Structure formats: C-alpha cells, structure tokens
Amino acid sequence: MEIYDTEEEQVEALKRWWKENSTSTIVGLVMGIVIILGWNYWQDHKKERAAQASATYDQLLKALDDDKKDSADKLAERMQEQFKGTEYAAFSGLFQAKLKAQQGDVAAAKQILKTIAAESNKALGNIARIRLVRLMLATGEYEQGLQVINEVDAKQASSYSANYDELVGDLYVALDRLDEARTSYQNALREGQPSPLLQFKIDDLTAQEKLEAPK
Amino acid sequence: MLTKIREKAQGAFAWGILIVICVPFALWGIQNYLDTGKEAPVASVGDKDFFQRDVNKAYEQYSQNLQGMTIDEQSLKAQALEKLIKDEVLLQYVHAKGLVTTDDTAREFIQSLPYFQVDGKFDDKRYKTMLNLQKMSSAEFVNRIKSALIMEQFQRSIIDSSFATKYDVESFFKIQNQQRDVDYVTVAVQKTAEQPTEEEITAYYQQHQDAYQTPEQVSIEYIELSLEDIAKTIAVTDDKLKAYYEEQKDQYTTAERRKISHILFAINDKTDEKTALEKALNAKKELANKDFAAVAAEVSDDKLTAKTGGDLGLFNVGVMEKSFEDAASALKLGEVSNPVKSAFGYHLIKVTELAPGEVKPFDSVKNEVTKAYQKAQAENAFYEAGETLTEMSYENPDNLKTVADALGVTIKKSALFTKDKGESIAAEEKVRSAAFTEEVLHGNNSAPIELGTDSLVVLRLLEHKAAAAREQKDVKPEIVAVLQSDKARRQAAETAKKIKAKLQAGDSIQAVAAENKLQVKTVAGLTRSKDGLPLVLSDAIFRAAKPVGGKSTVFIAELPAGEQAVVSLSKVKEGVMTEDDKKQLELATKNIAKAFGQTEFNALINSLQADADISVKR
C-alpha cells in the first residue's frame, strides 16, 4: 500500500485516479442501478402475476366447490392461457381433465393430461401420466397404456413406482396376463404403503400351485 | 504500518481506511461471538434449521391432539420432528414453484376463524389478545397462515383433481362384492392322554430354558418421609391454635348474605337531577303504605329489574358504586333507604333478605384447626427433612442408618418383589424401577423417589435373587401339558392333510367327512363383508386360488384354537353392484377418486422428500 506524506499529495492522487477512471466508474454505476431497478421490477411483476394467478385459481376452486361445472371449465381454460407456464395453469389443467373425463369427453381429457405430462415438472408430470394411463385403461388401450409407463424414465419416477406398478397390474389383468399382473401388484405392495384394495387384487390372483404345497 | 496510520489518523483519507478496515473486523468479531452462543440445529431442510425448541413446540402441539393416550415421549418427539420436516419440504417446494396466497385471502381466512370471533363476528381485540397469549406477532401469525394456505391449496390441487373412471368403479365392485361358495370340514384337536417319554420332556426342557425361569427378585430397606406422619408429630398448644385460628379466620367464617332490591330514578336528557330526586322522595313517601315491589314495577327506570320488583339479587361488595354500597350495607332487613345518588340517578334501596355472617367459634372447629395447623407447620419440616434425606443419603451411599438416625425415623423393610409386581411399598412402580437400577443393585442408596407430592422415599438393596432356572422336576407337569397339546395339534394337522389329499384326488367331501365322522358345512355366496365364519377362515377363503376347469380348490386353514379347517372352494362369482351400491354410486366414485388422489399425493410427498436436502442429527 502506498503511504502519502501530505494531504496535498493525497488529493492529487485522487484527482489523477478520477481522471483515468471516471467514465468506466459512471458507466458501471449506471449499469448497476439499471440492473437493480430492472430486477426489482421483474420481481414485482412476477409477484403480481403470481398473486393474480392464485386469486383466479381460488375462483376456480370455488366454482368446483359449488359444482358449477361450466364456469369451472371456462375458468380452467382461461387460467391455462393467461398464466401459461405457471404451476397454477397446470393445476387448472388437471381439474379440467377431470371435468372432461366426468363429462365423457375422454379424448379431450387425455390430450390435456398428455400435455401436462410432457411439459410440466417431475411431480405434475408423473401425476398427469398416472391419470392418463387410468383413462387408457378405461377405454381399452391396454397396450398403449403399458407403452406409456414403459417409456417413463425410472429415475424420474422412483417414488411413484408403486402407483405405476399397480396400474401395470390393472392393465395386465385387463389383458388376462395374470402372472405378470400378480408380479406387478406384488411390486406395488412392496414399494408403496399398504392398501386394502391392492391386497384384495393380489389375493384375487393367487396361483394354484402355491396351495398345492402344505401350509 | 499501524503506527503510521495512527500518526496520520487526523487526515480524512486515513479515517476512510480505518473505517474500511475496522468495520468489517468489528462485524466479523460480533459474528463469531454470536456463533459460539448458538445451539446446534437438530435437523435441517435446505437452509432452514430446526432446533430442539422447535421440536419441543411441535411436540407440545402434537401431544395435545393425542391427549389421554400414553405414547412414549421419545417416539412422539421423533414423529413431531418428522412432521416438521415433511411440512418444511412441502413449504419450500410450493414456494419454489411460485405458489402464493394473497393478503386478501389470508385476511378473509383469519377473519372466518371462530377463535377470533365474538358473536359470530371477527373481533380485532380478541384477535390481538389470542396472539399475545401465544406470544406471536400478527405478522408472524399471518405468515404462518399464508404458508398453511399455500400448502393446502397445493394439496387440494393434487387430491381433488384426481378422478375415478367407470372402469375403476366397476373393477372395485367386482372385487369388493365377489361371492365364493365353499364346503368345509373342521378337524378338532383331540386331547391325548398319552404320556410323553422322559427323553422328550428333557429335550423340551433343555430347548426352552428361557421359558422356565424364576424372575429376578430383590428386597429393599427404605426410609419413607411423609407429610402426614410429620404432621402428627407437631406439638400443639391452645395458644398456638388460637393464634392460627385468628390468622385464618376467613376459613372459618360464613359470609353475610344480603339480598337487595332497588327502584331507579334515572337522570338523563329528559329528567334533570332535581326532578329525579323529587320523584324519588315522592316514591319514598308512597312506600309507607304501598309494596316496594309494586312501586318498583310502576316507576323504576331500571326496566330490567322492575318486572321482578327491583330485585338485584345477592349483594356483592365491589360491583356497585361506593355511595350505593355504603347505603346498601348499612340497611337493616326490610328497611328502605333514602334516595342514594349514583352515576345512573337516584336509587331507593331495600334489603329483602339478610342472613348475618357467622364466625364459627374456636371450640367447634378445634379439630379442623389442629389438622390444618399441623399440616401447615409440617410442610416446612417436611421440606427440610427432605433436603436432609437427599443430601445425607447421597453423602453416605453405603448405608441408610446415618440418615435415619439424623432424622429420627425408622428403617423399614420390604418383602421380595420382581420388576413387575410387588406388595405394599413395592406396589409403587417408581419404587420397583428404582430398586432395579444399576446403582441400587451395586449396593448404593437410591436417589430420592417422590410418591405423590407429600411422600419421599430413599431405598437400598437388602437381598438380590438373580433369575434362576427352575428345576426340571418342578416344571414337568407344565412341559407335559405343552407336549401333549402340541401332539394333539400335530395329529389334527395330519388328519387334515389326509383329508385334503383325498379331496384333491377327487373324493367327494361328504364321503370323506363320513369316513372321519365329521360334519360338512356349506356356505354359498360368501362375501367379504358377511360375517359368521371365523375371520381367519373367511380371510383364507378369499385368499385362495380360484377353481380352474371345474375343479375345486382345496386348502387348509388353521383356526385360532388349533383346529384345522379343510376347505373346498367350488365357485367364485364376480361381484356386481347391488341396488344400494347403485344408489350410492356417486359417493363411491368420489371416495375411490379421493383414495387415488391421496396415494398420488403421498407419492409426490415422498418424491419431494427423497429429493430434498434433509439432514437429521441423532
């Protein structure tokens, strides 16, 4: 570190430094301020948008509570357009798919779930896919359903494997491939939480040989 | 360099340098001090730390929900921590995903909570009082509510958006309402009189040593301090008792009962003070030949009491204004006061009932006083003796005599008892567990044990009997019984196996049953919900493989008492919806959808937890 002997020398040094660096200092400062302001604006905007999305979404939930299916459907549609890309848009999609499925428009429901499965994050993607396959099971697209589950990246789905395995079991039962169904159900039971219905499904598929051996 | 700086410290530049250097140092210093005072977190999720106090708080709330249940504290605390972590993981996730609650929503929700409402309306004062009680600021509370609302919004979004298709519902009923037809025979366990051989008994005895042991036992000597015993020894004199009686006179006094009525002449916009007083004086005159209640009903401005003759009920000091009270307490029974002024106006007051207060004379309560006096005096002595007991029994761990002599109490002895059961003093669970601690078994005095609030025990070991094997000859009858019943069961199982083999070979169940002198029972259309059969049996029936190609499935189910049921399952009929089910179809669909949603949500939560950065210190 330089040590200056007199105050005049210090002032001189300061002046010299300022002459050399004034432009870049000012540009730097201005840029800094712009960035901070811009960032703040962006944050505020995001917050505002999120608050709006949440409020509109609450309206949708309210309409569902009151069993106003038409206005719920419209609100869900609006949410997905206006707040595309937000979590709330995806939630609205899930509800709209439910509405469509209830009204018998399975094709529309599937399309919505397919979109969410493809575009959303891991959590919602898995949830949408599980429901999509459940619709396929109902409409007899068993092989296609197995295909969808087959294509799931195991790493992405680890915590959901019990859900998938039970569905796979259901699909195999529908295809009358009972041995494979049994194995899938047993996997689901091992991975997930105990469920009476799943236990019933397993018990229903008990193999003959098992009982030939003395208990 | 530092000296140079100090020399130049008057210059502006140097000041600048000093500030630049010193401030961070100073702050760093503070940081370090703050850090050392900090406790270590017990768990963390991302950058959120949880401390023991958070766990304790959560545990308190958690255990309040489980009031009356005895679950051990440690595992409850672990559960509380688990829940804290689970909630935090979810909270961080929903925040990261940009979920928010608006201020309006939070406000609306808070205002709808009944705790903060008075007469069905939100009350700000009550809200603040309640928060103060919880030592929580409004901002903190609103934040918590907001977090809770977001998490709830998220949970709803997943669970409520799930659905069940017609196929799902039909599959459910196919299984749920399934019917099965069975025939079965039950092979009973026949008691056998056959005596097992000595070798068998010895072998069994040697293999099951653990089962044939006398439990570990101890006997103890102990000192018991009890408040009651000390109280009995407190000497009393009449003088002391009387002094105590004087001091505690309130305890031995019944208060005066004074019931009053009044007539009010209100002072308000229409009636000034003078008019009110005049009215009061007139009424007073009228009362000379008129009933107080009648006048009250007629003229009193206190409309509420006017109907009941002005009755104000029992007179309590401290409720009314002083002028009113003075007048009311000075009156005799039946007397009517002169007009008395209060903030409301002028009152005429009448005492309608008067039972004078009574002080019970010393002689009539002497027994009570003696007991109370002795107990009060003994409390000090008990406390002091307790201190002495604690100290001396600790300082002289190898005997009780020292402290017993010092306290002038006798050492008592117990009979032998086990960890689970004892008599008299050993009936106390605390005493038993203290007696079996390492410390006591090694020959030291126990720590003081509190039995209730007014009894204190210190004990030491007298005799210790280790667990010991019981001799074979002593336990022979027990072993014989076990072996015999084992054998009987085995025989039943063998018979059952033979029957099963015959049925599988194609023999009719009637023929086989007749051969073995058994009864065939037939159940057609058995459902899961129908009872009547033993649970193990109907469970086994629904777990059995379905008959294939017209050939019944034959299997054995062991019933609780060891009987063997040989079952032939002849038919499985797919379930259909009953009329009742159809009526409830909407509800059933909803419930199945909800169950789906719940499993999906659980999977989601597990997935979040698997991905989160959680560390728990053990």
CATH code assigned at B332: 3.10.50.40
Contacts of A195 in chain B (CB under 8 A): 595, 599
Name the pTM for this structure: 0.62
pLDDT at B313: 79
Tell whether B581 is covered by a domain.
no
pLDDT at A31: 94
Q: Check: CB of residue B199 under 8 Å from CB of residue B456.
A: no
Q: Are residues B455 and B488 in the same domain?
A: no
**Count of CB pairs separated by less than 8 Å, A with B:** 136
Q: Are residues B195 and B229 in the same domain?
A: no
pLDDT at B199: 86
pLDDT band (50, 70, 90) for residue A130 = very high
Residue of B nearest to A197 (CA): B172
Residue of B nearest to A94 (CA): B161
Per the listing, tokens 């301020």 go with A33
Contact A47 B558 (CB under 8 A): no
- Among candidates B4, B102, B165 on the partner chain, residue whose Cβ is nearest the Cβ of A138: B165
> Nearest CA to CA, how far is A98 from chain B (Å)?
6
pLDDT at A168: 94
pLDDT at A4: 64
Q: Check: CB of residue B468 under 8 Å from CB of residue B477.
A: no
Q: Are residues B268 and B146 in the same domain?
A: no
Tell whether B618 is covered by a domain.
no
Q: Are residues B345 and B391 in the same domain?
A: no
Task: Provide DSSP, B382-401.
Answer: HHHHHHHHHHHHHHSTT-SH
> Nearest CA to CA, how far is A34 from chain B (Å)?
25
Contacts of B1 in chain A (CB under 8 A): 1, 3
Contact A50 B98 (CB under 8 A): yes
A154 touches chain B (CB under 8 A): no
Give, as one character, the DSSP assignment of residue B9.
Answer: G
Spatial CA neighbour of A190 closest among A199, A203, A180, A181: A199
Residues 54-113 of A with CB under 8 A from B: 54-55, 57-58, 61, 64, 86-88, 91, 94-95, 97-98, 101-102
pLDDT band (50, 70, 90) for residue A142 = very high
pLDDT single digits (tens) B200-241:
888 888 888 888 888 889 999 999 988 888 888 888 888 888
The helix/strand/coil state of B413 is: strand
Q: Check: CB of residue B109 under 8 Å from CB of residue B149.
A: yes
Q: Which of A5, A6, A12, A91 to mutate to test the interface with B (most CBs of B within 10 A)?
A: A91
pLDDT single digits (tens) A22-62:
888 899 999 999 999 999 999 888 888 888 899 899 999 99
Average pLDDT score over chain B: 82
Q: Are residues B145 and B287 in the same domain?
A: no
Q: How far apart are CA B151 and CA B88, in angstroms?
A: 10
The count of C-alpha atoms lying within 13 angstroms of the C-alpha of A104, restricted to the half-sphere facing its C-beta, is 0
Among candidate residues B446, B469, B492, the one where a domain is terminated:
B469
Tell whether B68 is covered by a domain.
yes
Q: Are residues B90 and B32 in the same domain?
A: yes
Q: Are residues B36 and B144 in the same domain?
A: yes
Contacts of B495 in chain A (CB under 8 A): none
pLDDT band (50, 70, 90) for residue A215 = very low
Helix (H) / strand (E) containing B573: strand B564-573
pLDDT at A37: 93
pLDDT at B66: 61
pLDDT single digits (tens) B6-42:
444 445 554 555 454 444 444 443 444 444 445 678 8
Q: How far apart are CA A164 and CA A151, in angstroms?
A: 12
Among candidate residues B416, B450, B469, the one where a domain is terminated:
B469
Q: Check: CB of residue B246 under 8 Å from CB of residue B483.
A: no
Contact A137 B165 (CB under 8 A): yes
pLDDT at B24: 42
Contact A200 B596 (CB under 8 A): no
Q: Are residues B294 and B306 in the same domain?
A: yes
- The β-bridge relationship of strands B48-50 and B117-118 is unpaired
> Nearest CA to CA, how far is B216 from chain A (Å)?
40
Contacts of A159 in chain B (CB under 8 A): 603-604, 606-607, 610
- Tell me which range, A112-121, B111-120, B338-347, is most confidently predicted by mean pLDDT: A112-121
pLDDT single digits (tens) B572-590:
888 888 888 888 888 889 9
Q: Check: CB of residue B95 under 8 Å from CB of residue B612.
A: no
Query: Regarding predicted confidence, which is higher, B555 or B319?
Result: B555
pLDDT at B240: 85
pLDDT at A2: 58
Q: Are residues B450 and B498 in the same domain?
A: no
Among candidate residues B442, B469, B496, the one where a domain is terminated:
B469
Q: How far apart are CA B616 and CA B79, in angstroms?
A: 13
Q: How far apart are CA B53 and CA B37, in angstroms?
A: 15
pLDDT single digits (tens) B108-161:
888 888 878 877 788 888 888 878 777 778 888 888 888 888 998 999 999 999
- Among candidates B13, B97, B546 on the partner chain, residue whose Cβ is nearest the Cβ of A87: B97
Residues 6+ apart with CB under 8 A from B100: A47, A50, A51, A54, B150
Contacts of A208 in chain B (CB under 8 A): 545, 548, 553
Residues 17-36 of A with CB under 8 A from B: none
Total structural domains within chain B: 4
CATH number reported for the structural domain that contains residue B150 in this entry: 1.10.4030.10
Buried b (16+ CB within 10 A) or exposed e, B201-210: beebbeeeee
pLDDT at B2: 47
Instruction: Give me B112's structure tokens.
Output: 């709808």
Contacts of B157 in chain A (CB under 8 A): 91, 94-95
Question: Which domain does B104 fall in, by range?
Answer: 24-159
pLDDT at B594: 92
Tell whether B191 is covered by a domain.
yes
Mean pLDDT of A7-13: 86
Q: Check: CB of residue B419 under 8 Å from CB of residue B432.
A: yes
Q: Is the pLDDT of residue B3 over 50?
A: no
Tell whether B169 is covered by a domain.
no
- Among candidates B102, B104, B610 on the partner chain, residue whose Cβ is nearest the Cβ of A159: B610
Residue of B nearest to A10 (CA): B13
CATH number reported for the structural domain that contains residue B394 in this entry: 3.10.50
- Among candidates B98, B167, B596 on the partner chain, residue whose Cβ is nearest the Cβ of A86: B98
Q: Are residues B431 and B417 in the same domain?
A: yes
Instruction: Give me B86's structure tokens.
Output: 């689970």
Q: Are residues B370 and B234 in the same domain?
A: yes
Average pLDDT score over chain A: 88
- Among candidates A58, A101, A159 on the partner chain, residue whose Cβ is nearest the Cβ of B163: A101
- Length of chain A (residues): 215
Contact A50 B99 (CB under 8 A): yes
Residue of A nearest to B93 (CA): A123
What interface predicted TM-score (ipTM) does this complex get?
A: 0.83
Residues 6+ apart with CB under 8 A from B139: none
pLDDT at B67: 56
Mean pLDDT of B556-568: 87
Tell whether B607 is covered by a domain.
no
Amino acid identity at A116: I
B100 touches chain A (CB under 8 A): yes
B257 bridge partner residues: B355
pLDDT single digits (tens) B42-80:
888 888 888 887 887 777 777 666 655 556 677 788 888
pLDDT at B25: 42
Cβ-based neighbour number of residue B86 at 10 Å: 17
Contacts of B558 in chain A (CB under 8 A): 215
Residue of A nearest to B102 (CA): A51
Q: Are residues B425 and B506 in the same domain?
A: no
- Among candidates B12, B99, B166 on the partner chain, residue whose Cβ is nearest the Cβ of A54: B99
Q: Is the pLDDT of residue B591 over 70?
A: yes
pLDDT at A36: 93
Tell whether B591 is covered by a domain.
no
For chain A, the distance separating the N- and C-terminal CA atoms, rounded to the nearest angstrom, is: 90
A9 touches chain B (CB under 8 A): no
pLDDT single digits (tens) B500-553:
888 888 888 888 888 888 888 888 888 888 777 888 888 889 988 888 877 888
> Nearest CA to CA, how far is A17 from chain B (Å)?
14
Query: Regarding predicted confidence, which is higher, B255 or B189?
Result: B189
Mean pLDDT of B301-315: 80
Instruction: Tell me what percent of the residues of chain B surpass a pLDDT of 90.
Output: 9
Task: Provide DSSP, B216-280.
Answer: PEEEEEEEEEEHHHHHHH----HHHHHHHHHHTGGGGEEPPEEEEEEEEEE-SSSS-HHHHHHHH
Q: Check: CB of residue B89 under 8 Å from CB of residue B608.
A: yes
pLDDT at B34: 45
> Nearest CA to CA, how far is B99 from chain A (Å)?
7
Q: How far apart are CA B175 and CA A170, in angstroms?
A: 12
pLDDT at B8: 46
Residue of B nearest to A157 (CA): B607
